[in-house]
Structure 1
Amino acid sequence: MAGSVEMSVTGGVALVEISNPPLNLLTMHVRSELRLVMERIGCDSSVRAVVLRSTGDRAFSAGSDISEFPRDARAGHRRAVQEHSCYDAVADLPQPVVAELSGHVLGGGLELALACDIRVADATAHLGLPEVKLGVFPSGAGTQRLPRTIGVSQAKRMMLLGEIVDADRALELGLVDEMVPRGQATAAAAEIAGRIAGQPALAVQAIKKAVDHGLRFGTRAGQALEAELIAGLFATHDAQEGVQAFLESREPQFTHD
């Protein structure tokens, strides 16, 4: 089957790379492989941050393989469920995920990027959800994650018109968090992930969990989880080390437990 997903870990950062040239299409096989890799990462306590990228410079991903589009309702439902399980596996990781974006970031490719916590794009990136032009719509949670990222009206505009925006406009919208010159997204994403990996892992994971929980279930539920998480963190080695190091005016030595 065409396409693969590779993973390597260095210094607490997992590099996950999608390879399905030339446009890194998200076939059913690639999505299945990506979900399995994410499940492995979620169980690996040595991984403290993740960079998600693709091979080549033409596309992070130009989206789904249109030749795989189903022709009946039952198959269409199965496809949407598989997409959700893949992108949710990225979003639900306890570790933060930094997406490295260049070239085409379209359709399912943008839906995958939206499942990440931080998005870094270089100047070649073009992003959009143009599915409406095919008579369908972004059903890999694009209708859910895009409004939460750039606001309801702007998200509706992009999806209803099938608009594709360049990196500058994506930065203005908040669709990406950082824009760098061509060819520099790799270094920028690695730098962010490395800095995250240097922070105490349990505190990092608590931040991601509390934010996501509050967005999903509301402010009160988020506050309740905050109280539970901070109670546990106060008893950890890293919290005690961080406070003691501050009082002693020295750099903390975190052990990520």
Structure 2
Amino acid sequence: MDKIVILTGAGISAESGLGTFRDKDGIWTRYPIEDVATPEGFARNPALVQDFYNQRRAQAAKAQPNAAHRALARLQADYAGEVVIVTQNVDALHEAGGARGVLHMHGELARALCNACGHRWDAPEVMAPADPCPACGRPETRPDVVWFGEIPYHMDDIWTHLGGAGLFAAIGTSGNVYPAAAFVQEAAAAGAHTVELNLEPSVTVSDFAETRHGAATEVVPDWVDAVLSGRA
């Protein structure tokens, strides 16, 4: 069976109540991105950044997986071949919905990272700039998320998976952020059938062989049904 590689973005979690960059009234509208999602912003004002991610962590902890998350978990469970889920999201809704081995290319809200020694651990509900690293003791802890200007995680594995994919799907992602925006071209070059499942066409929609547009909780389960029945 062909390997399926799936990229998910903020759109798959929006119906679970987690906002995207483009929500008019979301948490991102209250903070300039350069202040809370860059290494420079953290260096300038670590308290502001920690407060922002404490809010995001609390919001994510209350969210529940939706039908789209559960459908992808069902695809992993029932498909005879390999299904690899790569996500740009820092929430844990894929795992809560039953998915396994999710590659979080932008890190995870539930994890902490030491800027000094690189140690990682499960983040407490509330983090503060003075929190000591449990490994080295230095007060250099930060959220284990990838900020603008930093290199996403798992990239070697992701490129390898894309090169071996027979089917690639991008779900709920705008196509604005690289390197994820180039995944469709990489998969297509390797011979994969490509499909976009999104609320509306992304900026890279012309790169996909197939498109399905609508709410993630509707189009993703329908697409999973089609794949499992051999109709996709």
Higher relative contact order (CA 8 A, sep 6+): 2
- TM superposition score normalised by structure 2: 0.31
- TM superposition score normalised by structure 1: 0.28
Larger Rg: 1
